[in-house]
Amino acid sequence: MERLNQTSSVSEFILLGLSSRPEDQKPLFILFLIIYLVTITGNLLIILAIHSDSQLQTPMYFFLSFLSFIDICFTTTIVPRMLVNFLSHKIISYAGCLTQMYFIYALGNTDSWLLVVMAFDRYVAICDPFHYVTIMSHHRCVLLVTFSCSLPHLHSLLHTLLLNQVTFCDSNIIHHFLCDFSPLVKLSCSSTFINEIVMIIEGSVFLVTPFLCITFSYIQILLAVLKIPSAAGKRKAFSTCGSHLTVVTLFYGSIFYVYLQPVSTYTVRDHMATIVYTVLTSTLNPFIYSLRNTDLKQGLRKLVVRRKP
């Protein structure tokens, strides 16, 4: 990794973080440590509950367990580095910065495609229930998860390699709490035209396509639900999608706010939106999916009872 971008005179970056005020560092450290522990604990409980309860061995929960696993990895890519920054060491190496950006993009987009797969699962369950078992076979579920986990790495590799061609000369201060495309491009002293064009075209397509797939799935679901004669049937159908829609809204709302804008307009105000999709969504997912899901709540209760001495 030391041989990365030998034309650049910058060998390390300084991550300014969320605040430069010394009195803010310890409270922020405590806050994000709690958030991180809650995220890890909540998502681990979801994974353990799903894999220990035979009633939760369905495609929907199979995808949810993978989403929880990716959320743990995604948060671990970001929060531990933030915690170190809050206490003392705000310096990150050039290679470390690009590595962090690579995994943020790879894991964040894996989350995105898993949400698409989960929307497709709900679409089949509601719009074609008689063929659900055939369509959502275990083999097909594994293929969908493999695709969701593999494709984002190509997207991430493309942008990481392109950014490695950019030259950084003077300033190495990143006005952010993580290594991201926009604040890094702002520091460049060479042309970033290719990077920005690729991000606008390929990046936008890669962001918008999953969202459009989810939107199409839910339009079809809405049309199918409206044809259900009983009010109870409609409520049951909507209840199976409510949690997923809440997560989709949080995740894509914050991502679109951050990335679907020119690099030149990127400001410190975008930090809050970045926190939503990188940290808070992963923290809230276990609560969102379990609070309105009777089967998952029962699975969690069984897990807790089973672990009692």
With 80 as the cut, is the pLDDT of residue 260 above it? Answer: no
Determine the residue type at 162: L
Whether 9 is covered by a domain: the verdict is no
SS (H, E, C) 97-155: HHHHHHHHHHHHHHHHHHHHHHHHHHHHHHHCHHHHHHHCCHHHHHHHHHHHHHHHHHH
Q: How many other CB atoms are there within 10 angstroms of residue 55's CB atom? A: 12
Whether 5 is covered by a domain: the verdict is no
* Cβ atoms of 275 and 74 closer than 8 Å: no
Whether 302 is covered by a domain: the verdict is yes
pLDDT in tens, 10-29: 789 999 888 888 888 999 99
pLDDT in tens, 164-210: 988 888 788 888 899 988 888 888 888 888 888 888 888 778 888 99
Report which of residues 235 and 181 the model is more confident about: 181
User: Which H or E element spans position 19?
Assistant: none
Full domain range(s) for residue 75: 16-307
Report which of residues 95 and 19 the model is more confident about: 95
CATH number at residue 155: 1.20.1070.10
Q: Count how many domains the chain has.
A: 1
Residues 6+ apart with CB under 8 A from 24: 18
Whether 148 is covered by a domain: the verdict is yes
